[in-house]
Every structure is written in structure tokens, then in C-alpha cells.
Structure 1
Amino acid sequence: MCGAGPPSSTSASGASGSPWTARTTNVRLGVWVSHQKSRRDKLNADQLAQLAELGLDWARDG
């Protein structure tokens, strides 16, 4: 979802099966959300729908 995935405190050797373990970086949640919002025009409909499911109102269709 949405680029490199949501922020995580999991290390590269984190839980097996996690889709984000290969590229995990420690990023503050607010920074990640702000980044997604700033590039919302570049996100596809599925990515926006996933963000909207998480409760991000700005990701919902007008």
C-alpha cells in the first residue's frame, strides 16, 4: 500500500510473512501520513481506498 508501506518498528529481521520487513525504516506515523497526503494526487484508487479504510478522511472521494 502506498509506496514503501506504513511505518513500523519491526526490524529487517522482523516477523516472517510481514510484507514490510524487507524495507523497514523507523518513521514517525505523522511524517508518513503527511507524506501520503502530500502525494495523494499520485496515489491510485486502491491505495486511497486503503487509506480511507484506516480513517483518513482526506483519502475519501469528494
Structure 2
Amino acid sequence: MSRMLLTALLLSLVIGLFVDAHPHFGIEAVPGFYAWFPMFASLGLIAVARALAALLGPREDDDGR
């Protein structure tokens, strides 16, 4: 599964070098933008979810009553 995802990522990067994407914002013109942006966005969401779970989750001294 991870080999397929890596292959898709590399294929997306290679195709992105040859296709003019007509970017609306300057950052979209960076090579590989559509590959690395979702990765960092997902990692950021995971970090926020873990922080919220640590803040709002049950306390260690809570016995469930």
C-alpha cells in the first residue's frame, strides 16, 4: 500500500513539472506544491487533534464515575 502511495506521489511530482497549472496564488507555482501542501496540512491537523485530546481528554485521576 505504501509503495503505491509513494509511486502516486512521485508520478504527481513528475507530471507537475510538465503541466502548466495556471496558479491563482504565487505559492501554487512552487514545484511539488500539490504534493507537499496536503502532507503538511494533514500533519498539522494530526498535531492539533492530539493537542486537543490531551487538553480535553479524561484525566489520569478520573476513575470514570
TM-score by length of 1: 0.31
Structure label with greater radius of gyration: 2
Please, what TM-score do these two structures have when normalized by structure 2?
Answer: 0.30
Q: Which has the higher contact order (CA 8 A, sep 6+)?
A: 1
